[in-house]
Amino acid sequence: MELNGTAAIVSGGASGLGEATVRELAASGSKVVVADLNSDRGTALASEVGGMFVQTDVSDAESVRAAVAVAASAGAPLRFVISCAGIGWAQRTVGRDGEPHDRAAFGKVIDVNLIGTFNLMSIGAAAVAKTEPANADGARGVVINTASIAGLEGQTGQLAYSASKGGIIGMTVPAARDLAAIGMRVNTICPGIIDTPIYGSGPASEEFKAKLAAPVVFPKRMGTAAEFAHLVRMLIENDYMNADVIRFDGGIRFQPK
Ligand SMILES: NC(=O)c1ccc[n+]([C@@H]2O[C@H](COP(=O)([O-])OP(=O)(O)OC[C@H]3O[C@@H](n4cnc5c(N)ncnc54)[C@H](O)[C@@H]3O)[C@@H](O)[C@H]2O)c1
């Protein structure tokens, strides 16, 4: 689909993969709503790229409805619904201290990563359904969700995170089938190790990132957020990409640790 002259909404758009996606879509002529908890960074980015910021908690359906309403009245048809908001968590199923995984922490990760993606996809698509078709295929828009290769091959201590990302992967095919009726495609990207603020900053973080990226096959480095955003644009522009779960990982395969 054509990006120019459209509106888009990007959750987690204030940082990392979401921020790069906001920049890419805005540069291609889309009016982008940055939907994020972080209002300082979100407001600054939105004003830089000529978009709009709406403080949003993706785990809260009412909050997502408010953000989608802004995107749907941006003055151009809302076509692209992109979920990048997410949080990490590390805890074993049974800890070294013999304690079972904390229920509240598991629930929080599911709420933000999985329910948050469900909220934006379903509420966003309902708004896209109200637009006129954009081309001869009857296409109205595209959903892109962000899972992780941790949803396919979860590592030690990634029980909650992998469950949340596996859930996103599992929604891809049924959502694509459901949303075909309104002319929407749905694809899910599974990033590997991409250099973003999610890993923190400073010497300890650089050391951690180097260790994580060591098994990458080629190119021998972390991915960049700009490369992720480029993939988002490809998935929007190529009308035959649908119901797919795409690894974006330089060939890495996670080992147990
Ligand atoms: N960076 C990687 O290596 C990597 C790998 C695999 C998957 N991912 C996934 O990609 C997505 C983006 O990660 P990133 O690396 O850009 O991280 P990031 O921390 O740079 O950005 C995440 C953004 O999500 C926002 N956010 C968190 N909770 C939110 C909520 N409840 N409502 C709205 N916004 C919320 C944060 O404020 C932040 O701006 C996440 O879902 C993450 O799990 C990242």
The residue type of 9 is: I
Q: What is the mean pLDDT of the chain?
A: 97
Q: What is the pLDDT of residues 195-237, one digit of tens each?
A: 999 999 999 999 999 999 999 999 999 999 999 999 999 999 9
pLDDT score, position 241: 98
Pocket test for ligand 1, best of 40, 58, 60, 84 (most atoms within 8 A of CB): 84
Q: What is the pLDDT of residues 152-187, one digit of tens each?
A: 999 999 999 999 999 999 999 999 999 999 999 999
Taking the model in full, what pTM does it have? 0.98
**Ramachandran assignment for 243, one of left (phi > 0), alpha (psi -120 to 50 degrees), beta (any other):** left
pLDDT score, position 235: 98
CATH number at residue 202: 3.40.50.720
Cα separation of 30 and 93, whole Å? 43
Please give the structure tokens belonging to residue 70: 């802004």
Cα separation of 215 and 99, whole Å? 31
pLDDT exceeds cutoff 90 at 37: yes
Is 207 contained in some domain? yes
Residue closest by Cα to atom 34 of ligand 1: 36
Cα separation of 231 and 227, whole Å? 6
Can 161 be counted among the known catalytic residues? yes
Q: Which residues line ligand 1 (CB under 6 A)?
A: 11-12, 14-18, 36-38, 56-59, 84-87, 112, 116, 146, 148, 191, 193-194, 196-198
Please give the structure tokens belonging to residue 251: 């060939």
pLDDT score, position 26: 98
Active-site residue identified among 89, 118, 161, 248: 161
Structural domain of 131: 7-245
Pocket test for ligand 1, best of 22, 34, 37, 123 (most atoms within 8 A of CB): 37
pLDDT score, position 147: 98
Is 47 contained in some domain? yes
Residues 6+ apart with CB under 8 A from 184: 125, 128, 129, 139, 140, 141, 142, 143
Is 253 contained in some domain? no
pLDDT exceeds cutoff 90 at 257: no
53 — pLDDT class (breaks 50, 70, 90): very high
What backbone torsions phi and psi does residue 71 show, to the nearest 5 degrees? -65, -35
- Our count of domains for the chain comes to 1
Is 255 contained in some domain? no
* Other beta carbons less than 10 A from residue 197's beta carbon: 13
Residue closest by Cα to atom 20 of ligand 1: 16
